[in-house]
């Protein structure tokens, strides 16, 4: 038994020889199969860049008018995107109608927008999908002066005690406020003839109401919006309760009823002075249907992080969800709602998680195509080596046949050179262990023919006195 040192040395030598042999086989494999490998690599890169391109690092999003909740909400989304290494550029607009038009314009760089549910689709708009609803937008009606009975706001025979003598803002045309207010006025049967409706944007309507320029203002916005908070904290203003809220939910299926207990907005001054009902639409997160899936997941994650928390009107985890959207649902959002987010996103940063997801998306289908090809390469190499050995066997056989019929003793040196050439060609064949037997049989056969040439004066010819028919 050898010493431990000797055994260790022999073990490492064996490992080194094995590694060297495998490396030599690999190098030989590359020399023989490099054209096929280049083709497979080209296919992989093509699929990588064209079938599943990387997500953009900058996205444009339409928000809304200045001072509205969409402006504040957009900034929160931009901060979340920045933490993931993506720039979310916020584009202020007049409102929902403009957002829809720009989002549907295939040449416009805007790819996402906040839009209230129930806003009428402009004609011939397509290419828009929904990532779901992300929050409630109550329909507020503030007014100044003495508190008015709820019955005074009801419309009877096209007339209302309040609206007949007041100047009221119904939002700028093209905005969600104007769309929702117009629908309410239409359903109520209020005759617009002779009424003093003005189209002020949210911030201007707030200032005009506080200064007394107008008597009332419709605003459709979130509770947290600056405009809404300003009006809620003004003690000279009152808030209308939608006494027939249930009726509006039947006529406007996309709205929900929100209950506000007495004193919930300001307990010290007991505002509101009684339990009231508000009707609310929802904010939809709409996207260009060409948006990269990874960016869609990022929007959904932002919505879950920002809008999924408990709020005054919403329960924890209530948003994002699909509530009363008139737009087709994004397949990515449907997948997200059922499965949440890709597993890798929970453990890796956004760009690394997206890279891994793309790698799985591209690599797995590629393997389905490449696996049988790569699997066939060893047999291809074996067949290639076998064909080289057979070719030399064929040349040796033809050479022997020519010696039987055309042997010339004076050319024996040339014959031996021919055999040396065949042996040299055989030595340059890189064969696997599987074909080692055939390889050395070829070498032996060449040597056998050489010995025949060297064994007598007349090789490959019968000696005198021998009957060839024996």
121 has pLDDT over 70: no
| 260, 263, 264, 270 from 275: Cα distances, Å | 6, 8, 9, 11
Average pLDDT value for residue range 148-160: 75
Residue 123 within a domain: yes
CA 41 to chain centre: 23
Instruction: Identify the three-state secondary structure at position 56.
Output: coil
Q: Are residues 67 and 202 in the same domain?
A: yes
Asked if the structure places residue 241 within a domain, the reply is yes
459 within a domain of the structure (yes/no): no
**Do 88 and 81 contact (CB within 8 A), yes or no?**
yes
Q: Is the pLDDT of residue 189 over 70?
A: yes
- Residue 16: per-residue pLDDT: 76
Please spell the DSSP secondary structure of 260-327, one letter per residue.
E-TTSSBTTTTBSSS-EEEEEEEEEEEEETTS-HHHHHHHHHHHHHHHSS--SS--TT--SB--S-SS
283 lies in the same domain as 146: yes
| pLDDT confidence tier of residue 218, bands split at 50, 70 and 90 | very high
Sign of CA dihedral 404, 405, 408, 409: positive
Residue 129's pLDDT band, with cuts at 50, 70 and 90, is very high
Q: What is the mean pLDDT of residues 301-308?
A: 91
**Torsion (CA) 375, 380, 385, 388 in degrees, nearest 10:** 180
Tell me: do 226 and 336 sit in the same domain.
yes
386 within some domain: yes
Which pLDDT score, from 0 to 100, does residue 276 have? Answer: 93
Instruction: Report how far residue 240's alpha carbon sits from residue 142's, in angstroms, rounded to the nearest whole number.
Output: 6
DSSP code of residue 57: S
User: In this model, does residue 95 exceed pLDDT 70?
Assistant: yes
CB 275 within 8 A of CB 261: yes
Q: Does residue 415 share a domain with residue 308? A: no
Cα–Cα distance measured from residue 151 to residue 243, given in angstroms and rounded to the nearest whole number:
9
245 in any annotated domain: yes
Answer whether 442's CB lies under 8 Å from 392's CB.
Answer: yes
Name the nearest CA neighbour of 112 among 299, 241, 238, 261: 299
Helix (H, G, I), strand (E, B) or coil at 241: coil
For the segment 418-440, the average pLDDT, to the nearest whole number, is: 83
In this prediction, residue 11 carries a pLDDT of 75
The per-residue pLDDT for 470 is: 52
What whole-number percentage of the chain has pLDDT above 90? Answer: 30
- Which residue among 279, 310, 341 closes a domain? 341
**pLDDT at 344 exceeding the cut of 60:** no
pLDDT at position 212, please?
Answer: 92
Which pLDDT belongs to residue 48?
A: 56
The answer to whether position 434 is within a domain reads yes
Q: How many domains does the chain have?
A: 2
* Distance from C-alpha of 389 to C-alpha of 428, rounded to nearest angstrom: 11
Range of the domain at 294: 58-341
Average pLDDT over residues 450-469: 66
Q: Quick one: which of 309, 308, 253 has its CA closest to 279?
A: 253
Flag whether 231 is in a domain. yes
Note whether 165 and 269 are same-domain residues: yes
- The answer to whether residues 369 and 320 belong to one domain is no
* Percentage with pLDDT > 70 across the chain: 78
Report how far residue 181's alpha carbon sits from residue 466's, in angstroms, rounded to the nearest whole number: 123
**Residue 99 in tokens:** 């957002």
Residue 51 has pLDDT above 60, yes or no: no
Per the model's pLDDT, the better-predicted residue between 297 and 156 turns out to be: 297
| Helices vs strands, H then E, count in the chain | 12, 10
Same domain, 315 and 190: yes
Stretch among 2-11, 62-71, 112-121, 122-131 having the lowest mean pLDDT: 2-11
- Give dist(CA 309, CA 353) in Å, integer: 25
Of 38-47, 328-337, 418-427, which range is least confident? 38-47
Q: Residue 351: inside a domain, yes or no?
A: no
Is the domain of 10 the same as that of 102?
A: no
CA nearest to 221, candidates 235, 198, 205: 205
Q: Would you say 14 and 7 are in contact if contact means Cβ atoms under 8 Å apart?
A: no
Q: Does residue 101 share a domain with residue 239?
A: yes
Bigger pLDDT: 152 or 205?
Answer: 205
| CATH code, 310 | 3.40.190.10
Are 106 and 206 in the same domain?
yes
Lowest mean pLDDT among 272-276, 281-285, 361-365: 361-365
Q: Are residues 22 and 63 in the same domain?
A: no
- Give the pLDDT score at 173: 86
pLDDT at 380: 66
266 and 372 together in one domain: no
Res 407: pLDDT: 79
């Amino acid at each position: 038994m050898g010493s431990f040192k000797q055994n260790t040395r022999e073990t490492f030598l064996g490992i080194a020889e094995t590694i060297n042999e495998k490396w030599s086989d690999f190098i030989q494999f590359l020399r023989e199969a490099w054209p096929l490998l280049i083709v497979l690599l080209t296919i992989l890169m093509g699929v990588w860049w064209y079938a599943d391109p990387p997500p953009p690092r900058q996205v444009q999003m339409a928000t809304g008018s200045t001072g509205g909740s969409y402006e504040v909400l957009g900034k929160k989304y931009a901060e979340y995107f920045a933490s993931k290494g993506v720039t979310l550029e916020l584009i202020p607009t007049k409102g929902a109608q403009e957002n829809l038009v720009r989002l549907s314009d295939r040449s416009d760089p805007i790819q996402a927008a906040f839009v209230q549910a129930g806003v009428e689709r402009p004609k011939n708009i397509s290419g828009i999908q929904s990532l779901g609803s992300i929050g409630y937008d109550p329909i507020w009606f503030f007014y100044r002066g003495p508190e008015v009975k709820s019955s005074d706001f009801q419309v009877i025979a096209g007339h209302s005690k309040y609206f007949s003598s007041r100047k009221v803002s119904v939002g700028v045309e093209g905005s969600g406020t104007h769309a929702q207010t117009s629908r309410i006025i239409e359903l109520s049967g209020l005759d617009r003839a002779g009424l003093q409706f003005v189209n002020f944007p949210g911030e201007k309507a707030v200032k005009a109401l506080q200064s007394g320029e107008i008597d009332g203002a419709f605003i459709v916005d979130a509770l947290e919006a600056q405009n809404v908070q300003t009006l809620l904290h003004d003690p000279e203003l009152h808030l209308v309760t939608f006494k027939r809220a249930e009726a509006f939910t039947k006529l406007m299926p996309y709205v929900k009823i929100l209950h506000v207990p007495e004193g919930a907005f300001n307990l010290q001054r007991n505002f509101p002075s009684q339990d009231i009902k508000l009707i609310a639409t929802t904010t939809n997160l709409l996207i260009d249907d060409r948006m990269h899936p990874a960016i869609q997941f990022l929007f959904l994650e932002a919505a879950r992080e920002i809008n999924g928390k408990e709020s005054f009107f919403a329960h924890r985890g209530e948003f994002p969800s699909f509530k009363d959207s008139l737009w087709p649902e994004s397949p990515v959002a449907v997948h997200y709602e059922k499965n949440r987010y890709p597993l890798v996103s929970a453990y890796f940063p956004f760009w690394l998680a997206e890279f891994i997801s793309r790698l799985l998306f591209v690599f797995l289908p590629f393997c389905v195509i490449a696996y049988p090809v790569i699997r066939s390469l060893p047999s291809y190499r074996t067949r290639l080596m076998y064909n080289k050995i057979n070719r030399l066997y064929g040349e040796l056989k033809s050479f022997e046949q020519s010696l039987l019929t055309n042997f010339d003793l004076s050319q024996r040196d040339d014959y031996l050179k021919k055999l040396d050439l065949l042996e040299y060609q055989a030595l340059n064949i890189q064969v696997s262990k599987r074909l080692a037997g055939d390889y050395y049989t070829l070498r032996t056969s060449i040597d056998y023919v050489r010995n025949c040439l060297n064994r007598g004066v007349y090789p490959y010819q019968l000696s005198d006195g021998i009957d060839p028919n024996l």
